[in-house]
Amino acid sequence: MDCAAQAAELVAPYLDRPALKLLDVGCGGGHFYHCLVRRGLLADYYGLDYSPSLVRLAKAAFKKQGLDPQKIILGDVRDLRDFACDIALVVNTLSFNPDFRAPLDRLSQTGCSVMVIRDNFGAKTLVRYEIDGFLDQGFNHLKGYWNCWSVSEVSNFLSDYSFKVKYFIDRRTQGKVELVVGKPYHWSWLVAERK
C-alpha cells in the first residue's frame, strides 16, 4: 500500500477543489479511490482499465458501496477520446505498454493540468517483450512488455506538451532494483504540471 499512499500524497496538493476530475489509468480494482477517501481527499474519481475482469470487479465494488459504477470505464488509454479530466494518475501501468508516447499523448489531450506517474524509469529506454513465466499452466508462452523508460526521454516528451516535470524517489523501493516476475524494475515517480 506504500505505493498508493505515495500516489495519494503526490496528488493531494492538487486536490484543492472537491469537484476536480481524476482519471486513474490502469485502475485495476479501483482501490485508489478508497485510498483517497481514507485520507479525506475528495475528487471526482474515474477509473480506466482495459482488463474486462478487473473492470467487472471494480464496478461491482463501486456498486456495493453505493458509488456510480459508470465511473469505472473499460478501455485502452491509447483509444481515449473526448474525455476531459483535471488530474491523470498512471501508476504501475505504462511499462506494460509498447510505448509511453501514445498513452501520454492521449492523456495530454484530456486537458489535464497534472499527471502523476509511477513507472520503471532509468537512464535509457529498454524495450523488453518477453514471456511472463509466472502465469497459470498453459499460458506461459504468452509475451508482454516489461519496458523501462528513459527519464529524460519521457520528461522531454512531456515538456513538448507544456508540462514541467519533477522526479521523485519511490518510497517503497528507495531507488533499489525490484524484481517483477524476475525482471529488474527501478520504480520512481514523475509529477508533470502543465505550465
CB of 69 to ligand SAM, least distance (A): 17
Number of amino acids touching ligand SAM (CB under 6 A): 17
Among 14, 43, 97, 151, binds ligand SAM (CB under 6 A): 97
Among 22, 23, 43, 48, binds ligand SAM (CB under 6 A): 48
DSSP state, residue 126:
B
Q: CA–CA separation, 85 vs 112, rounded Å?
A: 5
Binding mask 55-84 vs ligand SAM (x if CB under 6 A, - otherwise)? ---------------------xxx------
Cell 501508476 belongs to 91
Q: For the CB of residue 182, give the shortest distance to ligand SAM in the complex, in Å.
A: 15
Helix axis angle for 151-160 and 101-108, nearest 10°, is: 30
In whole angstroms, give the CA distance from residue 19 to residue 44.
6
* Residue indicated by cell numbers 483517497: 36
Q: Which is nearer to ligand SAM, 142 or 164 (CB)?
A: 142
Cell of 166: 519533477
Alpha helix (H) ranges present in 45-144?
52-64, 101-108
Which residues from 106-165 bind ligand SAM, rule CB under 6 A? none
Stretch that binds ligand SAM, among 11-19, 43-51, 120-128, 136-144 (CB under 6 A): 43-51
Kindly state whether residue 50 participates in binding ligand SAM, applying the rule CB under 6 A.
yes
Q: What is the DSSP string of 159-186?
A: HHTTEEEEEEE-TTTTT--EEETTEEE-
Q: Which of 28, 69, 122, 144 binds ligand SAM (CB under 6 A)?
A: 28
Residues that bind ligand SAM (CB under 6 A): 3, 26, 28, 48-51, 54, 76-78, 91-93, 96-97, 103
